[in-house]
C-alpha cells in the first residue's frame, strides 16, 4: 500500500499559459524533474490551485500525468464541499489509474467530529486505492479531529497515512497518539525536522517544486538523524516560499529558474501580492541552498 522508498511527495504547482490555460509543456518538465529526484508527485492539491480548476480540467490533468508513465507514485488531491463531485473525480482517477489520493478535511462548512467522520467514510468507501488524510485548518477553517483517523482506520485498511499541516507539533503528537498505526507526513516544509523527531515518516512538500533534489536530500538526512549535515537555513528558506499566498512565490522562483514560462495564477490569487523584498528573499534562499547542495 505505502511507498516507503518515497518519503517525499511534491505538491505540484500547475503552470498556466498567459491565457490562463494549463501549460502542459512546462508541467511535464516539472514532473520529470520530480521523477529524476525520485520524489512522489501530488497533483491537484492546494499548491496546484486545484480548487480553481474545472472538473474537466482536473480530469485532463490526471489523464495527462498518468500517460507520462512516471517512475514515481502519482497522488491526486481531492478537495471541495460537493461530495458527489469528489466521488466522481475519485472514480475517474481510478479508471485512469493512480497510486493514491489525498483527501482533505471538508472546506468552509467547519464540520464537527461526526461530520468529518462521515465525509471521509463516504470517500474511502468509493475506492480501494490508498488514501492519505489531510489536516490543514488554515485553509479549511476547521481542524481534523484526532479521533477521526483512528476510527476510520478501524474500518478501512487502505488509509496511507495523514498529512499534518496545522503548523503545530502538539497537533502532530495528538494524531500520533490516537492513531499509532498510521504513517504521519509533515505538510509544513519548515517543521519537517520537528515532525520527524516525533515519529513522522516523510514530507509532502511545496519547496521540492523548486528544490527537488535538495529537499529529497534534506528529508533523507532528517530521517537518518544526520543533523550536522542539514542545510542550516532550511526553515528560513522554506518560509520564503510563503511570503505571499502559496503558490505565488514558488511560481515566481520557478520562472526565475526557467522551469515555467509564465507566473500566471488564477483568481483570487495575484502575483502582485509578492513584494520586491519577498522576491529578493526567494532568490537569496535559492542561492544559499544551491551552495549547500553543491558543497
Q: Which of 134, 143, 217, 251 is catalytic?
A: 134
Collapse the DSSP code of 2 into the 3-class scheme (helix H, G, I; strand E, B; otherwise coil) and give the result. coil
Residue 162 makes CB contacts below 8 A (sequence gap 6+) with: 132, 133, 134, 135, 144, 149, 175, 179, 182, 183, 184, 185
Collapse the DSSP code of 138 into the 3-class scheme (helix H, G, I; strand E, B; otherwise coil) and give the result. helix
Q: Which of 163, 185, 217, 251 is catalytic?
A: 163
Residues paired with residue 43 on neighbouring β-strands, in sequence order: 76
Show the cell assigned to 153. 482506520
Q: Cα 33–37–39 angle (5° rounding)?
A: 95
The percent of the chain in helix, strand and coil, each rounded to the nearest 5, is 50, 15, 35
- 134 included as an active-site residue: yes
Exposed (0-12), middle (13-18) or buried (19+): which is 133, by Cβ within 10 Å?
A: buried
Q: How far apart are CA 236 and CA 198, in angstroms?
A: 21
Exposed (0-12), middle (13-18) or buried (19+): which is 180, by Cβ within 10 Å?
A: exposed
Q: DSSP per residue over 139-199, as a string?
A: HHSSPPPTHHHHHHHHH-S-EEEEEE-SS-HHHHHHHHHH-TTS-EEES-GGGHHHHHHTT
Question: DSSP label at 105?
Answer: P
- 163 included as an active-site residue: yes
Query: CB neighbours (10 Å) of residue 127?
Result: 20
Exposed (0-12), middle (13-18) or buried (19+): which is 59, by Cβ within 10 Å?
A: middle
Residues recognised as catalytic: 134, 163
Amino acid at each position: 500500500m505505502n511507498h516507503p522508498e518515497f518519503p517525499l511527495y511534491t505538491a505540484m504547482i500547475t503552470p498556466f499559459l498567459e491565457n490562463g490555460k494549463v501549460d502542459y509543456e512546462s508541467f511535464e518538465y516539472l514532473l520529470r524533474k520530480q521523477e529524476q529526484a525520485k520524489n512522489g508527485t501530488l497533483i491537484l492539491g492546494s499548491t496546484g490551485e486545484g480548487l480553481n480548476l474545472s472538473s474537466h480540467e482536473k480530469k485532463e490533468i490526471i489523464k495527462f500525468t498518468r500517460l507520462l508513465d512516471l517512475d514515481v507514485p502519482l497522488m491526486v488531491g481531492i478537495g471541495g464541499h460537493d461530495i458527489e463531485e469528489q466521488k466522481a473525480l475519485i472514480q475517474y482517477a481510478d479508471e485512469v489509474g493512480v497510486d493514491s489520493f489525498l483527501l482533505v478535511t471538508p472546506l468552509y462548512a467547519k464540520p464537527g467530529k461526526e461530520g468529518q467522520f462521515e465525509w471521509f467514510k463516504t470517500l474511502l468507501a468509493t475506492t480501494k486505492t490508498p488514501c492519505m488524510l489531510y489536516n490543514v485548518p488554515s485553509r479549511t477553517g476547521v481542524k481534523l479531529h484526532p479521533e477521526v483517523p483512528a476510527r476510520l482506520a478501524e474500518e478501512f485498511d487502505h488509509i496511507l497515512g495523514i498529512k499534518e499541516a496545522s503548523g503545530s507539533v502538539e497537533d502532530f503528537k495528538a494524531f500520533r497518539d490516537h492513531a499509532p498505526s498510521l504513517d504521519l507526513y509533515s505538510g509544513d516544509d519548515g517543521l519537517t525536522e520537528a515532525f520527524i523527531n516525533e515519529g513522522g515518516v516523510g514530507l509532502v512538500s511545496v519547496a521540492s517544486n523548486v528544490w527537488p533534489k535538495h529537499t529529497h536530500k534534506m528529508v533523507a538526512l532528517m530521517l537518518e538523524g544526520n543533523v550536522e549535515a542539514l542545510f542550516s537555513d532550511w526553515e528560513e528558506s522554506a518560509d520564503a516560499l510563503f511570503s505571499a499566498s502559496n503558490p505565488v512565490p514558488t511560481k515566481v522562483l520557478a520562472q526565475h529558474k526557467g522551469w515555467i514560462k509564465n507566473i500566471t495564477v488564477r483568481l483570487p490569487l495575484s502575483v502582485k501580492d509578492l513584494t520586491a523584498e519577498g522576491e529578493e528573499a526567494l532568490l537569496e534562499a535559492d542561492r544559499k541552498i544551491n551552495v549547500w547542495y553543491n558543497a
